[in-house]
Amino acid sequence: MVATELRTDPITGRTVAIDLGPFRRRDDFDLQPARLDDPPAQCPFCEGREAQAGPEILAWREGGPANLPGWSVRVVPNRNSMLRIEGRTDVRSDGLLESRDGLGAHEVIIETPIHDQPLHTLDADRLWRVLWAWRTRIHDLKRDSRFSSIVIFKNHGRSSGARLDHSHSQLTAFPLIPPALADKLLGASRHMSINGTCVFCGLLSQELTDRRRMISDQGAVLAIAPYASRVPFETWLMPRDHSARFEEATDATLHALASTFKSVMARIDWALERPAYNCVLHTAPLSGEADAAFHWHLEIIPRVTRYSGLEWGSGVHRNPVSPEEAAEVLRGRSEG
């Protein structure tokens, strides 16, 4: 029988069940091929089909006109958007029931003009341009006072929710604080009010001393396997120095993030045989009091396990690989 430990996430307080047995990759994992194998000939994100992808909001171009080939990163409205840029901001009530217009922005960042080029295989400068596009779009959207928060995420591979193989990320600007961010903000604010410090800074300091869950401590962006990891090889990338807002990251910090992301994803690809994964950028709300308490971070969530009734019913994730074991495996693999 596998020994299991119930761990509490130091930020949100959520419970995770961690199996403490040895790393058993093949037995426990759902290692479906990540690729969807959608035909490049019909892909709207490939260079030359700019009209299909939609009018560009932002692009990195070495000269040349908009909406034609010649770009390396391109941002367009999401054609399957769940949010609309026009709408009312008020909340409607019907007894116990509440709703509001699906107001917001939903954009797609096409990360490369080439169909079969996963994000972490871009060279570091090209990957930096993707992060530059994220930062630039947050700066622009935060001028719209109807929006409270921005979440950037990435679906890669079949079981991540992706619909296309062509590498892209998505940005959502909400008129509210979504629950996953709200949980973190609440925990961070609680820690600040009791201890007067940033919980993420405290966590990084403890992990740098402990070492068991440290994956990479090179440069300005660190990689850790979180203590209460929900899935095997969950990884958080965080700036070493306190910073609540991704949009305030310097060019140098974005270069450090690009480099750490490349190296960590290369190792995860090796350990899990090129898995599907999600990435989520959590950054402080666009206005408010979170600057001292919150600390931006990028979560990498490999999708090699499935949610079951346990997760839906209890909110407790069962993780068959301890973060100590995952960090050891990822540390043991040199970059490449």
Q: Kindly list the residues in this chain that would bind Zn ion in the complex (CB under 5 A).
A: 43, 45-46, 115, 166, 198, 200-201, 242, 295
Q: Which is nearer to Zn ion, 166 or 317 (CB)?
A: 166
Residue number, 152 or 198, with CB nearest to Zn ion = 198
| Token pair recorded at residue 222 | 């660190």
- Specify the amino acid at residue 225: A
212 conformational bin, left if phi > 0, alpha if psi -120 to 50, beta if neither: alpha
Q: Name the minimum Å distance from CB 318 to Zn ion.
A: 30
| Residue 200 vs 261, nearer CB to Zn ion | 200
Q: Which is nearer to Zn ion, 167 or 322 (CB)?
A: 167
Q: CA neighbours within 13 Å on the CB side: how many for 69?
A: 6
Min. distance of Cβ 295 from Zn ion in angstroms?
Answer: 3
DSSP 3-state assignment of 113? Answer: coil
The Cβ of residue 300 has, within 10 Å, a number of other Cβ atoms equal to 22
Give every CB contact of residue 229 below 8 A, 6+ residues apart in sequence.
16, 18, 319, 321, 322, 323, 326
Best CA proximity match to 317, nearest among 200, 214, 207, 232: 232
Strands 149-156 and 168-174: antiparallel
Compute the least distance from the CB of residue 101 to Zn ion, in Å.
Answer: 33
CB of 309 to Zn ion, least distance (A): 36
- Considering the complex, what minimum distance in angstroms separates the CB of residue 236 from Zn ion? 13
Is the CB of 120 or the CB of 168 nearer to Zn ion?
168
Closest approach, Cβ 300 to Zn ion, in A, equals 19
In the complex with Zn ion, the residue whose CB is nearer, 137 or 245, is: 245
